[in-house]
Chains A and B, each alone.
Chain A
Amino acid sequence: MNLPAIKAIYVFEMARFFRTILQSIISPVISTSLYFVVFGSAIGSRIDTVDGVSYGAFIVPGLVMLTVLMQSVSNASFGIYFPKFIGTIYELLSAPLSFIEIVIGYVGAAATKSLVIGTIILVTATFFVDLHVEHPVWMIAFLLLTCLSFALLGFILGIWAKSFEQLQLVPMLVITPLVFLGGSFYSIKMLPPAWQTVTLFNPVVYLISGFRWAFFGVADVSLMGSALAILGFFALCLAIVWWIFKTGWRIRS
């Protein structure tokens, strides 16, 4: 294992994050605050409670997930797409590295960034609502696994994308709808029965449900279901990344 290389990639990627620190932190803080104002105060004041949780608090796990998913995907996809785009990928390919070091470096940095942003959002939320976490270990586990899995997904997208347009396409057309329809701002029990069934095919439902359970002890789907979904997704992404490097797909000619 080439440890200095992992460190070099990780530090390099984190440096990019800190170079744009204002944009990286202020923008999620502002958007989260806006969500609280609109959903928590304006609309939430007309909704009592969902599953016994005040609406303002109820949306916190969904909001964190929403941002963490988007940030993980966009950071990781950009991180590996940019070297491809400007040609500096030659250095990664000619260095004594296997895919393990490259993935740990890029995905690790992207996951760290979204973890930092997720934490900031949680802290911001405490200014608006009373928050307590019933199962902190599960909460951290869900958060970590989500950051890692979606950073892996972003990495795959970054390798797949042949243009900046394609790079934006999947987050915009796939991830945003899945997250919004995944129960970020509502319990899927509020939906008509037919739509509840459809929703069960949305993997994000399991993530948000499990994450929310860690906070309040209430869930839309079983905890086991959530845990298996996130682990399965993580394993799937790992397998795809492994295949990409084994075949050199879209990297090595």
Chain B
Amino acid sequence: MAAIVSITDLRKTYAGGFEALKGVSLDIEEGEILALLGPNGAGKTTLISAVCGITTPTSGRITVGGHDVTTEFRAARSLIGLVPQEISLEPFEKVMWTVRFSRGLFGKRRDDAHVEKVLRQLSLWDKRDTQVKALSGGMKRRVLIAKALSHEPRVLFLDEPTAGVDVELRKDMWQMVHGLKQEGVTIILTTHYIEEAEAMADRVGVISRGELLLVERKAELMHRLARKELKIELPTPLRELPASLSRYQLQRSDDGRTLVYTYEANAETSGIGVLLRDLHEAGIAVADVRTHQSSLEDIFVDLVKEDVT
């Protein structure tokens, strides 16, 4: 599929000398949901700001729908909807008005039918004549999304869409994102909630300290990096591991009642069979076994840790 957003060697150094982006290259395919994961200050928002025209890149090239964001900024920005991280809204405006205003800013003729559709989608229709300042935090975030969707964007950026949002709204948001994907909208979201990336994304990119560490299909990433753990509970504490078991690199818990065996989830043979046989031969009785598959979160923590060290 063609890339709808193409970023080449993007660098951003702020006036104070802080290097927020250190040469990021990334192609985002039309119609996909890409989650950008990274700790606070990793450069996620700077990356989005550069694509959307809020920050001027120090160097590098960005195109949206084939249009360069600097030289053909009108064509490029018309395709983009942005939901910022901070809740920034005119407090005295009514919901309907502020959404209409956004549509106008993006050069679209007034279309109350579309605005109504967006407001209904976000359960804001009943609040259309309410002043923004009278809304709850979650509702305000919905208004931000309505503003971004008001001009029918092809690409939607959601910067930390569910930060500080209650469970119900989070579920609604996920549903809405999937709905937009059905309509063919490309969605880029940043988050540091791993479960969000796991629930929504087709691909996952990991950013740390201004560098894109990897971008991969979520399933492949989990497949490639996932490890499994086998926990073996012992009926009697084990003081010392017998030498015959050393090749399994077992971890013994402090109380000696648990052994942990780690193996690649997709290795050809797990080695569990021989391990259990060797345990038996070494005279170690087994009370219970449990397996645990590492989540995206574990993978992510490992990646960022490696990057720091």
A9 within 8 A of B: yes
Which of A86-94, A137-145, A173-181 has 4 or more CB atoms under 8 Å from chain B?
Answer: A86-94
Contacts of B104 in A (CB 8 A): 4-5, 7-9, 11
Contacts of B274 in A (CB 8 A): none
Residue of B nearest to A97 (CB): B105
The digit string for A125-159, where 1 denotes a CB below 8 A from any CB of B, is 00000000000000000000000000000000000
Given the contacts A2-B107, A253-B14, A94 and B80 also touching, CB distance less than 8 Å = yes
CB of B90 within 8 A of CB of A86, answer yes
Main secondary structure of the interface of A (DSSP, over half): helix
Which of B50-58, B116-124, B254-262 has 4 or more CB atoms under 8 Å from chain A?
Answer: B50-58
Contacts of B49 in A (CB 8 A): 253
CB of B88 within 8 A of CB of A2, answer no
Complex Cα–Cα for A253 and B49 (A): 10
Contacts of B186 in A (CB 8 A): none
Given the contacts A15-B97, A96-B74, A4 and B109 also touching, CB distance less than 8 Å = yes
CB of A88 within 8 A of CB of B52, answer no
A95 within 8 A of B: yes
A164 within 8 A of B: no
CB of B88 within 8 A of CB of A92, answer no
Give the distance to chain A from B210, nearest Cβ to Cβ, in Å: 15
CB of B89 within 8 A of CB of A5, answer no
List, sorted by A's number, 27 A–B pairs whose CB atoms are closer than 8 Å: A2-B107, A3-B107, A4-B103, A5-B105, A5-B106, A5-B107, A8-B101, A8-B103, A8-B104, A9-B105, A16-B92, A83-B90, A86-B90, A87-B86, A87-B88, A90-B54, A90-B82, A91-B88, A93-B52, A94-B53, A94-B80, A95-B107, A97-B105, A98-B73, A253-B14, A253-B49, A253-B54
Q: Which 3 A-B pairs give the minimum distances between C-beta atoms?
A: A8-B104, A87-B88, A96-B74
